[in-house]
Amino acid sequence: LSDPQDIIGKTDYELGWAEQADLYRAGDRKVMEGGIDLLNLEEPQSRTDGTVVTLLTSKVPLRNEAGELLGILGIYADISDRKAAEARLHLLSAALEATSYPIVITDASGIISWVNPAFTVLTGYSREEVIGANPKMLKSGEHSPEFYRDLWATIRRGEIWRSEFVNRRKDGTLYTEEGTITPVRDEAGQISHFVAVKQDITEKKLLQSQLAQAQKLEAIGQLAAGIAHEVNTPTQFIGDNTNFLQTAFGDLIRCLERIEEIAGAGEGGDPIPAAGEIRAALKEADVEYLQEEIPRAITQTLEGIDRVGTIVRAMKEFSHPATEKVATDLNHAIETTSIVARNEWKYVAELELDLDPSMPQVECVPGEINQAIVNMIVNAAHAIADAVGTSGAKGRITVSTRSLPGEIEIQVRDTGTGMKPEVRDRVFDPFFTTKAVGRGTGQGLTITHDVVVRRHGGTIRVESELGQGTTFILRLPVSGVGAEQLASG
């Protein structure tokens, strides 16, 4: 209606809401005949444009001073917007209740005001036990005070916090969750609540650990044949030289015995025949050859023994058993891993080390970083092998290090095939590989990324163009001993 006067003198059946006229008349009769009030009824009403709104209706009897019924006083309010908002809230509430992700809402001071069923399933606490409590009841003791200070400082600045937590269930068992905490502001712009959305990743972490171990075993298996070859080569010539020395020693012993016989027989006799026989014995034993070859065989044997020792030490350092972070010389780690992976690259590439001697030690888990470095070297060797094919040519792998403010950088550069943009963008994705069957599971670089980024708080990126080779750039933060070394010079 465009004018309120348009309604005067008309019945409900003559207006736009004729469809609801019977409903309205039934309410009117209750008021008129029963003399009762009908308050806060929610009723639909059709409009001339075809839409239907919701009205909040109240009807009361209208009487004169004598108490005689004159009619009905009706008050109506369009509550369609409110009903739509309530429907949205109901949908949101139902979604939060139904989601499998645990959700916690706290007030600005961190006191829990709401949790969903998934939270109670994960933690073992009922809603009644946690409403009004502080989330610190879930603390496991696995995180430092600095961790929580950083968390609160971040969300109180109005920023979103994302991290992994190790928390404790009601029954005392630990679980790992991935959480996002988001500040919520009121109409005045002040932070009024925090919403934490969590995901139980305990099983995922276990699978990742098992997968990492499997990949490490796979890498060791791939390297084992190469290590066996690397050890076998010096061992072979150690054995050959030992056999030669055994034979040569027998020849020398026989020569000396012959000389002794000649010396004994020639006592008091003619020295000239004795000298001739000695020369003949020396010639028969090929003493000049032995004088030249025995020192060479001994030198080669000692070099072979040293080479085997170097390989064994490299393998021992590569498979470092430590699981905690310790101050580590990454230049030495790179030298070690290049030895371990030598059989992967020596047939297809020259490997150049350009290591910054001033680079400080880095707090890291040595075995994990060794694995990350060897993964990149092996990946570079495979890329070069694809590039050179069976031509017999060799590419180049360059591993370099340098110190940067607050961090160190490792680059592994190769002259291999390079990557298309779509391959480069997925190079760290789990199980993604362009290699032929039998040349890897596609997990090596994924685990390298996990080790560098998640386990050590570093960064890793790749620069590559098809036909131009590839460079992996790894950076790790320097703290503790390394930071002191940087500060001192």
- Whether residues 483 and 366 fall in one domain: yes
Please state the rounded mean pLDDT for residues 298-325: 65
CA distances from 311 to 234, 314, 334, 368 (A): 11, 5, 14, 19
Task: Select, from the ranges 12-16, 187-191, 335-339, the one with the highest average predicted confidence (pLDDT).
Answer: 187-191
Q: What percent of the chain has pLDDT over 70?
A: 74
Confidence band, pLDDT 50/70/90 cuts, at residue 117: very high
341 and 299, same structural domain? no
- Asked if residue 233 and residue 363 are part of one domain, the reply reads no
Question: Given the structure tokens 């000695």, which residue do they identify?
Answer: 278
Q: The whole model's pTM is what?
A: 0.45
In the prediction, which pLDDT does 287 show? Answer: 67
Per the domain annotation, does 360 fall within a domain? yes
Q: Both 151 and 220 in a single domain?
A: no
Residue 73 lies in a domain: yes
Q: 260 and 303: one domain? A: yes
Q: 114 falls in which pLDDT band (50, 70, 90)?
A: very high
In a domain, 91, yes or no: no
Does residue 196 sit in the same domain as residue 207? no
Do 124 and 64 share a domain, yes or no?
Answer: no
User: Looking at the 3D structure of the chain, how many domains does it have?
Assistant: 4
User: pLDDT confidence of 241, banded at 50, 70, 90?
Assistant: low
Which CATH number is 433's domain given?
3.30.565.10
pLDDT over 80 (residue 369): yes
The residue range of the domain holding 418 is 322-489
pLDDT (0 to 100) of residue 338: 87
Shared domain check, 218 and 260: yes
Give the pLDDT confidence of 49-86 residue by residue, as tens digits: 888 999 999 999 988 888 888 888 889 899 989 988 88
Identify the H or E element spanning 254.
Answer: helix 202-265
Instruction: Tell me which of 84, 112, 147 is where a domain ends.
Output: 84
Helices (H), 266-393: 271-285, 287-318, 330-340, 342-345, 366-388
| Shared-domain flag, residues 455 and 336 | yes
Q: Is residue 89 part of a domain?
A: no
Residue 480 has pLDDT above 70, yes or no: no
Under 8 Å between Cβ of 410 and 334: yes
Instruction: Please indicate, yes or no, whether residues 193 and 104 belong to a single structural domain of this protein.
Output: yes
pLDDT of residue 352: 95
Query: pLDDT at residue 359 above 50?
Result: yes
Identify whether residues 445 and 462 lie together within a single domain. yes
Q: Which of 427, 433, 437 is nearest to 461 (CA)?
A: 427
Domain boundary among 264, 294, 319: 319
**Structure confidence at residue 463 (pLDDT):** 94
Residue finishing a domain among 268, 297, 319: 319
pLDDT of residue 314: 58
Confidence of residue 441 (pLDDT cuts 50, 70, 90): very low
My answer on whether 367 and 447 are in the same domain is: yes
**CATH assignment of the domain containing 180:** 3.30.450.20
